[in-house]
Amino acid sequence: MNRCLCVLTCVVFLLVCCEIPEYPYFLKESGKLYDVARDFSSSKNPAGAWSYGNAASPGGDFTLITENNGGTDLNSWTGASGSAVTKNISVSAVDDPGNSLHWEPGDLSFHPGSDGTYCVIRWTAPESGTCEITAIFELIDQQANNTDVHILHESHELYTVELQGYMDEQSYVSKSAIKVARGETIDFVLGYGSGMSYFEDSTKIDAQITLN
Ligand SMILES: [Ca+2]
């Protein structure tokens, strides 16, 4: 037996005989991906794991939005006090009539209500496991002032930030896997910010949850 073969045999023996407590993270089977924009439904709410609603505060009682405006380019679920969840479901870019807003195909935005009503995009765990979250928020109205953004696991706040002005973009990546039980929720929540005005508060959200 030559020297290389002998070394290889020893390595294989050690791998077989030694207990490896856990596979390295990158060798684990990847989980199921939930994407807030990709998974948008213009016909159902809830749709799969996602639902759109309102709350008086981050983590407050969730009221499901039931009205869809039927738009064929910009499609919105419209809730209390002017709150909305809107997606450009067309294959072309769309600008609002005042040309202060722009959605590329597939862009999803949400908007708070005039009286401080929060707009909530909710993910409900379809099964128990651990999840990882990535999210990017951006104020997309050229006249924007500010909005407050929150991410919650049940009533526990994972992240909060206030966006300030047009094109302010903030992101969140979970630092470690978050244990969730079936039926528990991850909420992406938008309020009208410290300026307490809901005008020009459209905020783009690009968020993914991976459930393992
Ligand atoms: Ca505002």
21-30, 84-93, 168-177: range with lowest mean pLDDT: 21-30
Domains of the chain: 31-211 (2.60.120)
| 139 Cα–ligand 1 center, Å | 10
Supply the DSSP string of the chain, one letter for each residue: --HHHHHHHHHHHHHHHS--SS--GGGSPP-EEEETTTT--SS-SSBTTEEEEEESSTTS--EE--EE---SSEEEEE-GGG-EEEEE-SSS-EE-TTSS-EE-TT-EEEE--TTSPEEEEEEE-SSSEEEEEEEEEEE--TT--EEEEEEEETTEEEEEEEEESTT-EEEEE-SS-EEE-TT-EEEEEEE-TTTT--TT--EEEEEEEEE-
| 64 Cα–ligand 1 center, Å | 22
Instruction: Indicate the pTM of the whole model.
Output: 0.86
Q: What is the pLDDT of residues 112-152, one digit of tens each?
A: 999 999 999 999 999 999 999 999 999 999 999 999 999 99
Nearest to 158 by CA among 138, 178, 181: 178
| 70 Cα–ligand 1 center, Å | 26
